[in-house]
Each structure stands twice: as structure tokens, then as C-alpha cells.
Structure 1
Amino acid sequence: MKSWKLLIVALVVAVVTACGNGNNKESGQPASNGNNTENAGKAVEIVMLNSKGQIHEALENAAQAFMNENSNIKVNILTVPSGQSPFERASVLYSSGTPATLNMLDAGDIAKFKDKALDLSGEKWVKDLAAPNELDGATLAFPFAVEGYGLVYNKAVVEKAIGGAFDPASVKTLADLESLFQTIEKSGISPILVGGMPWSLGNHFLPLSYAAQEGGDVAAFLASLKAGEANLAENASFNGLMDTFDLMKAYNSGKKDPLAVTAENIAAAVANGTSAFTFNGNWMISQLLEVNPDGDYAFLPVPIDNAINTKAAGAIAVGATKQIFIDKSESTPEQQAAAKQFLEWFVYNETGQDFLVNKMGIIPATSNNPLEPSDSLGKSIKSYMDSGLTVSFGANYVPGDHSKVIGASMQKYLADSTDRAGLAKEIEAFWKGKE
């Protein structure tokens, strides 16, 4: 079975926005001082498809800074619009014959475009990756962002509720989490607000059950689902995770209309202190700081069950989630060279490194970047990584329609429109026969 070797251990940040404009043709403008000799004498225009809406402005500013240094290259940023998955957007662009030069997709979707992806195995940055990032023995994509997710909490709110310093390591079991929720509730604060977004429920929460499987081999477990051999109704990790979800539902302050709770709602609730916890990833830091610039936030791992000796106990999901491939089917050699130069700028140029870490809040997948995360959620993830308390980012292994289909199934469970047995059957039906 073909799968990603996403083993990044030294391994943020999706509310998507409206798309920008751009095309994939050379501009014909004279060049002046580009650094890449292959592009000398011509102005080359490239398009980057961005699937992280929250960094759209920072990415446009980064592109401008790059163009200031490389005036023979024009970079247009095209952001995936709200309601469309990165896979869908890239597919539409290819169908129309106008694909982006650089395509930022969820890691699990790169394999679907491998026949259109330029082999990047010989690029300088490959040797500086914290761990291999290969598909079928070749590096076909640049791991743009290392991210993690779990239970995000407002430190001040939690510590006020419990009357002292809070150590997230003290919560490893479902019983521990319930006790904490009870204490917070007694203080007059909502313990948690659960988002009803399908991408969060389907591509982030549910895949924790894949990552927590005994042995930690996500690909092997998904192979059993594809073969119709896995029985989720009797699967310990699936049932443990859903026990935790049931607890989250019970204390959810949005339970009266759970599907109406948006990413904006949960960020505002945690930042304002009306809810102590939510489930999300480090990419929400920009929303949190927009509401409360002085807030301090961290991650609590999602308890899978009451066992404390499993790999998943006390660990958060971390992985190189956003990957960028360079189109080889429609782009010219000059555009491919310019695209490579833009990626290399983020890895080795001090301005590019600063944009990546400090302006976009991204944890880089290369070990050469000397900058540390400056925001509290990035720092929290880094602390778990440094302690080896991580599990595989299971969403990196799922197909593009997993978010929509399984996300809808999880929404039904959140709204009590189906029970656990029904959810398990829908998940098994989704996977059976998948390529």
C-alpha cells in the first residue's frame, strides 16, 4: 500500500477566506535583478494556491517581499474560498486548464496529484527536513506547515477556576477530564464550547481514533477499514474517543444548537473567557489574539480512554499538514524554477524565515530555521514535540472527501441524529473499497 512517510518528530495554523486573482502566464515584462540565472532576462509570473485562509494577508505580504528581492518574478496568491476543500479547488483549476504553479494542499491529497507533481528530491532543503517527506520514494511536495491540535484552553480562565497553577499532564484520562470540567462549571464558567464545523469534526477529531490504534500504524489500520475487516463497534480507540466526545457534548455550552457553532464562535468564547476549552488546532491563534491580544493559551491532549500507559495518553496530534507541490503539467520550466526559488526563500532567506514563523505563526518542517514559535499555542505544541508526546496527525492519511462525508456523519452524532453504532457503520461504509 502506498502511503506517506510523514514521520516528522521535531515537528500551526480553517477559517478560509475569499480567493484572490491570478493567472499562470508569463507577464512579458523585462526583468531587472532576479537571483535565479534561469529566469534572467524574463519576468515570470507564477500562482500559488493557498489553502490556509488565515495566513492570506501575511502570505501576500511575503510574496511582495520576495518580489522586492526578485523583481523578475511575479507571485500571485490564490486562496481557496470558503466552503471548498483544497482538493476540490485544485481539481477545478486543473479541469479548467489553469492550474496553479504552486499548490498548497492537505497532506493526504498530494498522492492524488502525483502524476502532475514535479519531483523535488534534488532540492537543497530536502537535506534539512526534520524527517523524510516522501511518496513512493520521491519528495514530491514541500512540507509547508507543521501543525497540531487538541483541546485548546485559556490558561487564566482554567487557573482561576481551579484556584492555582494548572498542569495539563494532570489530565490523562476521561475521569480526569470530567473532574476538571466539573470544577470549571462550579466556578460559573462553561467548561467547553464544541465547534460544529465538518472539517474539525471529520478531519481532526475523528482521525484521533486512527492515530491512537494499537501499534500506532495509521496506514495499516486504514487498510483494514478499506478491506472491510475493521469492526469499529468493538474498537477500543474508537469507543474511547467517542466516550470523550460524549463528555464534551454533555458539557457543551452550545448544545441547544450545536451545528450553528462556528470557528469564530469558539475562538471568541475561549478568548473572552466565557468558555475554558474548545477543540481546535494552533491555526486558531490569530483569531484568539484578534479578540484578546493579551490572552495566553495552551493545549491539553484529548483523552482517548482511562488507560494511562498507551502512546496516545498525554499526547497531541502533530504533523506536516500543509504540503506544496509544483505543477509540471502546465507550467513552463521558467515558472517551475521561479516556484522552486520561492520555496527556497522561505527556508533559507532570513526575511522568508521571519514571515513563516513570526508573521504566519507556522512551525517549520526544516531543522535549519533558528526561529522559535512566538505565540502561546505554537510554544505549547513545541513543548509536546520536544517531550516526544505526539501521535501521528491522522488527517494526513485521509482522502479529500473524508472531511465532507465523515464530517457530516460526526455532525449528525453531535446533534444526536444518529447513535454510535450508526456512526461506526457510516465510517466503515465510507472506507470500504477506497483506493
Structure 2
Amino acid sequence: MKVSRFGSALLLLLALSVLLSACGGNNADKNATNEGSSGNVSTKAVKITFLNSKSEIQQQMAEAAAEFAKANPGIEVDVISASESQSPVERASSLYAAGTPATMAMLDAGDIAKFADKALDLSGEKWVAELAQPNELDGKTIAFPFAVEGYGLIYNQKILDQAVGGTFDPATINTTTALEDLFKKIEASGVAPITIGSMDWSLGNHYLALAYANQSVPVEDYLGTLKSGDAKLAENAVFNGLLDTFDVMKKYNKGIKDPLAVVLEQTAADVAKGEAAMTFNGNWLITEMQKTSPDGEFGFLPVPVSNNAGDAANESLAIGATKQVFIDKTKATPEQQDAAKKFLDWLVFDAAGQEIMVNKFNVIPAFKNNTTELSNPLAKSLKAYNNAGKSIPFAGNYVPGDHWKVLGASMQKYLVDKVDRPALASEVESYWTSVK
């Protein structure tokens, strides 16, 4: 039982959106101050909470909540965050255990099913008609797809242009060997080729998950073989190819002397300042990068998993609908539920909400009617890959909530050479055979 996978149909969204004009009613809700999405009327002030698990936009989310409140007097949105020590699903679970669940909770897509019995049925909401792909669980829409996101190797265009002596073309890097040759050129130009972030969520749910996404069978089918113990990673070409590339990345890592000390903020600053040519991360990193270089030119390069230039995986980014928001039905009052619905409507239909989604949150909306022009370079790069059909599943959407902690830790050990490849393969296999 899974949350709807936004597959290839959703990935057509970016291409389709440029052909579709925004739906009418962008400002229709602004004057409906006290009317909820369901038509119920609330005559008293309502306070709702929003659990935000995208820490990089915590400030922007709070600003959006304030702007929504200005347009909707009588509704206050308090944005709370997931701590760095807790996964989103752990934070949401702890709030339920305390009897104080968030009115709206943003979780990773793969965790929504765990809260199906606590989530309000949103099948009748008007934004459902704007989805590029149905987002259903057991025939019902219980979650709001917050963003389409993607990841790969993020590069600084200026630095790579200098390294290659012209305009760098990412299409030329279609094998692991080609990537290492590029690293050698960058190093010769006097710049660190890459800075590797040590974050467990990045190494576990993003980098390692490429081994699941690039198999010859659907992600869920491959994960099924891991759970049954039938998959043998030590003999798997994709797994080994992915780690061959990681070994090259480790060799040229700017933080090679103390790899685990390199955090997200440092990787963003390194690339933004041109102190490193690349890092591995997703389009959400642009918020941090633009703090240092608001006008920088950045793009995506896929992570090669072989030395076969014909492998589609070597020219594709992992793209998918990632974060999902559900509304609580166990503790939230009808007035709070209506206020939460109104907030989600505002993000989809109001001109201010649409602009915030694209150019403040820096995400790509999962709704056809939002045709707001993308302004940041990583979103544009992601869209270009998507429109060209060069995408693979965002496999992190398919894994359990503790995957990033457990196997992220395993990848950290591999990063600092505390485990070798056979040992890493064994840890990954052991994890999956223990999944219930």
C-alpha cells in the first residue's frame, strides 16, 4: 500500500505547465475571509499549526504564513519545524504521542501511509482537479503534494567554463571516467573539483537510493527483492557502478581531511563562491547558495553509474513529488480543518501563494495551473532535464522513515573508509531484510 507515485505522468507536468494558462480564481479566495473550503463559516479566530520538514525554507514558510494571515484575518498559522535529530515521521509521531498533533504535517512521501488513519480525506478539494497525476491511497486523496524536486551533481557554470576552456556542456559527462577526467581539469585550474556533504539524509535517501532507482525493474519491485533477501548487492552492476563514482568523488573531495565535518551550509557556500566546482544535492540547495551568490549560474549534472555512455541513467536526474502534507482529523476541530484547507487552496490558487511556492520556497509545484515563471537556475536546469524525458524515480519516496538514518550512517562510514564495499553491501541488505 503506497502513496501514489508521481511517475512519468507527473514528470510531464513541467512540460505541460508552459502550455497551460493559470486557472481563473487566483484571487477569488482573498475576500472570503471567514469561509472555509468546505463552505463552513467560522466567526471566531482560528489558530492552526504547520509542521514543516523542509528546514531550508523555515523562514520563508513563516513569512508565507504571515502573508496568508494578512489576506485571511481570523486565521493564524504557526509554523513548527522538525529538529535535526528527528526525521519528519519521528517528529509527527512524537506530536501525536503528546496529544498535540500539527493541524497540517509535511512528511516525506513514503511516510504518508503510516498516518492514513489520522489524515483527513481531501478527495473533494478543488486543487485535486489541478494535479498532473492522481495522488491517491486506497482510492482517496489524503495528502497535498507540496513539491516536485530533483537532485544530482550541482555545478558552478563559471568554474566549469574556466576548467574546460569554453562553455561547459553537461551532456559530455556521461560516464564515470568522463567525470574523473573533468575533475582532473578542474583541479588543474586551481579549484577543488567537488565538496561532499556528510548529511545522512543526503547520503542515505538520495545518493544510495540511486542504486534502487536505476535498476532494470521498477523501484518497488527491486526493493521487494531486497526485503526478501534475494538481491545480492555485491554482484549488482548498478550498485557497484554508483560506488565507483562515489570513490572518484571521495578522491577529489575538498573536505577529504575531515569528511564528516562538511555540512550542507558549507557545501552550498563552497560551490556558490567557486571554491569547489560541484556538490551532490538537490534543487532545494539554491536557497542556501543564493545567500552567498544571488546571481550565480548553477546547473545539474547527473551522477553516472557506469562507463557505458549509452546508459540512460548516466544522463538522468532523480525527479519526483517529494514532500506531502496531510491534515489531521483526530484532534483538529472542523474550524481548524477548514482553515488548513484554505491555506492549501491559497498556495494553489492565489497569485501570491503561487509566487511564493515557485520563487520563495524554490520548489516546482505539482499543479498544472501554476505557470509562474521559474527564476532560479537549479529549477530551470531540473525542468530542462524533465522536459527532455531525462529522469528516473525519486527513490527516496519509496523507503521507510528510518532509512536515511540507518543507511545514511552506513554511507558515512563508507565516506570515511570505516567500511569497505562488501561490508556496506551487507549492511544495506541487512537493513532491508529487517523491514516489516
TM-score, L = length of structure 1: 0.93
SS at match of 1:148: strand
Alignment of 1:271-420 (within 5 A): 271-420=272-421
Alignment of 1:258-273 (within 5 A): 258-273=259-274
> 1:72: Cα distance to partner?
2.4
SS at match of 2:11: coil
* Alignment correspondent of 1:22: none
SS at match of 1:38: coil
> 1:2: Cα distance to partner?
4.1
* Alignment correspondent of 1:6: 6
Check conservation: 2:286, 2:376, Cα contact below 8 A. Answer: yes
* Alignment correspondent of 1:116: 118
> 1:64: Cα distance to partner?
1.4
Following the alignment from structure 2 to structure 1, what is the Cα–Cα distance between the partners of residues 122 and 170? 40
> 1:10: Cα distance to partner?
3.1
* Alignment correspondent of 2:43: 41
Alignment of 1:71-220 (within 5 A): 71-215=73-217, 217-220=218-221
Q: Which one is further off, 305-314 or 193-202?
A: 305-314
SS at match of 1:77: strand
Structure 1 residues without counterparts, runs of 5 or longer: 12-31
Following the alignment from structure 1 to structure 2, what is the Cα–Cα distance between the partners of residues 119 and 311? 38
Check conservation: 1:4, 1:397, Cα contact below 8 A. Answer: no
Check conservation: 1:50, 1:80, Cα contact below 8 A. Answer: yes
Check conservation: 1:146, 1:318, Cα contact below 8 A. Answer: yes
Q: Which residue identity is paired with 1:179?
A: D
Deviations 1:87-137 (A, max 9, x none): 111011000000001000111111111111112122111121122222222
TM-score, L = length of structure 2: 0.92
Check conservation: 1:39, 1:72, Cα contact below 8 A. Answer: no
Q: Which residue identity is paired with 1:357?
A: V
Following the alignment from structure 1 to structure 2, what is the Cα–Cα distance between the partners of residues 311 and 211? 12
Following the alignment from structure 1 to structure 2, what is the Cα–Cα distance between the partners of residues 407 and 56? 23
Check conservation: 1:311, 1:391, Cα contact below 8 A. Answer: no
% same residue: 55
- CA distance change for structure 1 residues 139 and 349 in 2, over 3 Å: closer, same or farther? same
SS at match of 1:317: strand
Following the alignment from structure 2 to structure 1, what is the Cα–Cα distance between the partners of residues 33 and 215? 53
* Alignment correspondent of 2:238: 237
> 1:53: Cα distance to partner?
1.3
- CA distance change for structure 1 residues 139 and 311 in 2, over 3 Å: closer, same or farther? farther
Check conservation: 1:169, 1:314, Cα contact below 8 A. Answer: yes
Check conservation: 2:42, 2:335, Cα contact below 8 A. Answer: no
Deviations 1:343-363 (A, max 9, x none): 011000111101111122111
Following the alignment from structure 1 to structure 2, what is the Cα–Cα distance between the partners of residues 101 and 173? 47
Following the alignment from structure 2 to structure 1, what is the Cα–Cα distance between the partners of residues 79 and 169? 41
> 1:44: Cα distance to partner?
1.7
SS at match of 1:115: helix
Deviations 1:318-342 (A, max 9, x none): 1111100111111112211111111
Report runs of 4+ in structure 1 exceeding 4 Å deviation: none
* Alignment correspondent of 1:427: 428
Following the alignment from structure 1 to structure 2, what is the Cα–Cα distance between the partners of residues 357 and 208? 26
Following the alignment from structure 2 to structure 1, what is the Cα–Cα distance between the partners of residues 133 and 309? 28
Check conservation: 1:149, 1:316, Cα contact below 8 A. Answer: yes
Check conservation: 2:304, 2:315, Cα contact below 8 A. Answer: yes
Structure 2 residues without counterparts, runs of 5 or longer: 14-31
Q: Which residue identity is paired with 1:54?
A: E
Check conservation: 2:183, 2:193, Cα contact below 8 A. Answer: yes
- CA distance change for structure 1 residues 3 and 327 in 2, over 3 Å: closer, same or farther? closer
SS at match of 2:147: strand
* Alignment correspondent of 1:16: none
> 1:67: Cα distance to partner?
1.2
Following the alignment from structure 2 to structure 1, what is the Cα–Cα distance between the partners of residues 337 and 312? 41
SS at match of 1:83: coil
Following the alignment from structure 1 to structure 2, what is the Cα–Cα distance between the partners of residues 48 and 135? 22
Following the alignment from structure 1 to structure 2, what is the Cα–Cα distance between the partners of residues 55 and 252? 27
Q: Which one is further off, 303-312 or 102-111?
A: 303-312
Deviations 1:50-95 (A, max 9, x none): 0111211211111111111211222111111222211111011000
Compute the RMSD of aligned alpha carbons.
1.4
SS at match of 2:58: helix
